A and B are shown apart, each in its own frame.
Chain A
Amino acid sequence: MAQPRFIVVGGGLAGLMTTIKVCEAGYPVDLFSIVPVKRSHSVCAQGGINASVNVKGEGDSPQVHFYETVKGGDFLGNQPLAKGMCEAAPGIVFLLDRMGVPFNRTPEGNLDFRRFGGTLFSRTAFVGATTGQQMLYALDEQVRRYEAEGLVEKYEFWDFLSAVLDGEGVCRGIAAQDLRTMEIKAFPADAVCLATGGCGIIYGKSTNSMVCTGTAASAVYQQGAHYANGEFIQVHPTGIPGEDKLRLMSESARGEGGRIWVPRDGTPWYFLEEKYPKYGNLVPRDIASREIFHVCRVLKLGVDGKDVVYLDVSHIPRETLNRKLGGILEIYEKFAGDDPRKVPMKVFPCVHYSMGGLWIDYEADADGNPKVGNPRNHQTNIPGLFAAGEVDYEYHGANRLGANSLLSTFYAGMLCGPAMVSHATNLDRSASAVPSSVFEAERQRQQEMTEQICRMDGSENPYVIHKELGEIMTDNVTVVRYNENLQATDNAIRAFQERWRRTNIQDATRWANQAVPFTRALRNMLELARVITLGALRRDESRGAHYKPDFPERNDPQWLKTTKATWSPGGPVFSYDPVDSSLLKPELRKY
């Protein structure tokens, strides 16, 4: 049989770690990315990566980390993968340290750890406040090493269009477009990994980078891949409002002692500390965001009557701030114009992370430990198509704990790479034996769809439609959700889909054209927006990031279930799977 071929789409942490794992097994990888991989969205992760190394002698352990991850996710996550992740975490941080990630140190030269939300332990290793950037650079360097050896071929500035599926529905490769020449090509592979990140751009402005449109996930969803738990969108409590994006002010600001307050009767009211004496400002994100919404929208106590609360680090010594939080304080200073070392920062909750994503499988042993190397791990319901990172729906349940995302991307790669190798080396028929007509047919289909977009000469501007989509999604499908508004949002999305058909592409240039891929992504965003909105409409309970005042309690008998959306021409069709709660019994989530 011919040498198996591998494609990884996306060069963030999950994609790069998957690539490294496949290369270590001795196989070459074709690595596709819209941007040079070093500019992927992982660079935006700030606060750190969780690992229960117990450096501070607090009695922390991976078992506690596992429990808090599951509880933080309001028991919606499948437990074996979370268990595997938390147990692997200390080894992952040691490995990153070996790769040269310049983690902050204790005076003794050990890795330093700080506190984050949803835990009472110092569990978060960090590099100043740009931990994601530093981790990505370390993996980028390891992949560059493989590239120099000839094992990795990069396709940067390429846009993923679709999976190539054969007559049996098996993924045999991808179709992609060169964003400079605009050429569309099909590429064969025996295993394909989508590591294409989240979908925050559906909300217009979020903490996400411009490439986080969810277009790739939506494309394969429309080809039959299940999309799970789409309604679970994390709204981070502390973002800096902005015209072009909402910049994150990391939870680490609170982990290092930052306090949230609003003025009440002329004095600061530390409402989180008052209501949650044990966890204080470090309650999980869903809870903090809801409390801030309550203070601003219901009590009308936002700063100057606006949707703003203070995040205050001005009482912390300047030297400590610069050493541990320098990166994010610079961001605030540059973009908001004030020095947070002197005055409290003005922040408000903003869309941050998608817990939901492409449905993936896994295989665990009788004790609930994931079996590394099993081909089911991270495989979608389309055979040969894998997903890893924010684009998959696993690990975080209904709400992600801070500093668990860097961990989950990395661990996903550690599981996904070996799974792809097992899958590809055990195929009856390799991609190279698939008739070229299969690839040509998909290339042709994508070529025609792109030509259609190039010819669009209606009256609508795609960027305007996108802005309006973002506004209505942010208004109705974030922190507080009402069924009436969710239904109205879906109606609006369908109206946007109609307007999309009347787009004017505005740019006839057949070279480095940005309007064409954006218009294509917008179409895909609209499909995914319906999955998020209708998933939320149907789930009549409150759990983690999904909160409905009309259904304020968690309802386990009815809703301790994974939402699975399947594409149909008329819209998403929903089904529900049981959650694997075999290791920890669901209990009331209190902080």
Chain B
Amino acid sequence: MPQRIEFRIRRQDSPQAPPRWEEFSVPYRPNMNVISTLMEIQRNPVTRDGKRTSPPVWESNCLEEVCGACSMLINGRVRQACSALIDHLTQPIVLKPMSKFPVVRDLIVDRSRMFAALTRVRAWVPIDGTHALGAGPRVDPHGQERAYALSRCMTCGCCLEACPQVNARSDFMGAFVFAQVELHNMHPTGAMHAGERLEAVMGLGGIADCANAQNCVAVCPKEIPLTEAIAEVGRQTTKYMVRRFFWR
């Protein structure tokens, strides 16, 4: 069992600043994860060669893999830092910010494009209001299970990080957004407005930009059936286009 945990962390003071590497060595305790070791560095922000430094900054909140905040590259693989257990990682553990989003500082990136994409595809059920309108629609239990599988997306960004189609030269919104389109098109009320969402994914950066690499589904920490959702939304757009053609 190792006595210490060795870390290499990519630091960057600001979006414009050049990146640099710092190495840390933290005493080992059982059951540690990447977040608890970063916390240990906060309590003693000294590099491996004894130099005082500022504590590295990162984004995290729930620490139980439901909020989506702490995505980063850990030994080259995108995942949540809170559920990355030290005992399962080879050392030195290399931490980098996700590469497909602008770096804010150190391990923090700007994922606002994901929330903008949710707005663009109108990922909501347009209710008439919050006043009492009685019980909601009945839902068959199997449909509920499908909906729940899709609705666990925590907008963490792993699927964008892993996708070759998400890059500086493309507007591809990323796999997560199609799961949200399928989800809201399934809901009895949401289905009444499915066309608006399909129009949105037929535009720039939409469904046509998926090149079927299937990396997204491999890295999704919530095991969301992303490729199935892409296929389903693809089918829906095809049908929609045909219908739209004949309506004109």
Contact = CB atoms under 8 A, between A and B. Distances in A.
Interface of A: 20-21, 24, 35-36, 38-41, 43-44, 91, 94-95, 97-100, 102-110, 127-128, 130, 133-134, 137-138, 141-142, 144-145, 147-148, 180, 209-211, 242-245, 247-248, 323, 327, 331, 334-335, 337, 414, 461, 463-464, 467, 506-509, 511-515
Interface of B is mostly: loop
Contact of A43 (B31, B42, B67, B126): B67
B141 A144 contact: no
A109 B139 contact: yes
Nearest to B58: A514
B83 A334 contact: yes
Interface string B165-202: 00000000000000000011001011000000000000
A242 B125 CA distance: 38
B55 A515 contact: yes
Contacts of B100: none
B89 interface: no
Given A102-B147, A463-B42, A509-B14, 18 more contacts: A35-B69, A39-B154, A41-B62, A94-B134, A100-B125, A100-B147, A109-B138, A130-B66, A180-B104, A209-B62, A210-B60, A243-B29, A243-B36, A244-B39, A248-B64, A463-B39, A513-B57, A514-B55
Contacts of A507: 54-55
Contact of A209 (B54, B63, B65, B145): B63
A509 B42 contact: no
B35 interface: yes
B21 interface: no
Nearest to A110: B138
B183 to A, nearest CB: 8
A204 to B, nearest CB: 10
B164 interface: no
A29 B111 CA distance: 23
A288 to B, nearest CB: 21
A509 B64 contact: no
B127 interface: yes
B125 A98 contact: yes
A98 B104 contact: no
23 contacts: A38-B155, A43-B66, A98-B137, A98-B189, A100-B151, A100-B190, A102-B139, A106-B141, A109-B140, A109-B141, A134-B148, A145-B124, A148-B122, A180-B104, A209-B67, A243-B31, A243-B32, A243-B36, A244-B35, A331-B65, A461-B43, A506-B45, A511-B13
Nearest to B108: A512
B130 interface: yes
B61 A323 contact: no
B136 interface: yes
A102 B55 contact: no
A191 B18 CA distance: 44
B32 A509 contact: no
Nearest to A323: B145
Contacts of B105: 509, 511-512
B119 interface: yes
A138 B137 CA distance: 16
Given A335-B64, A461-B43, A127 B31 contact: no
B224 interface: no
Contacts of A509: 13-14, 54, 105
Contacts of B141: 104-107, 109
Contacts of A130: 66, 152
B54 A515 contact: yes
Contact of B129 (A24, A41, A43, A137): A24
B132 interface: yes
Query: Which of A43, A127, A142, A323: most chain B Cβ within 10 A?
Result: A43
Nearest to A23: B130
B130 A105 contact: no
Contact of B144 (A105, A133, A467): A105
A94 B148 contact: no
A44 B130 contact: no
Contacts of B234: none
A94 B64 contact: no
A337 B88 CA distance: 11
Contacts of B67: 35, 39-40, 43-44, 209
B111 to A, nearest CB: 8
A99 B144 contact: no
Contacts of A210: 60-63
Contacts of A20: 130
B83 A39 contact: no
Contacts of B54: 506-509, 515
Contact of B33 (A95, A243, A463): A243
Given A98-B127, A102-B148, A133 B115 contact: no
A106 B69 CA distance: 34
Contact of B68 (A38, A106, A245, A463): A38
A134 B63 contact: no
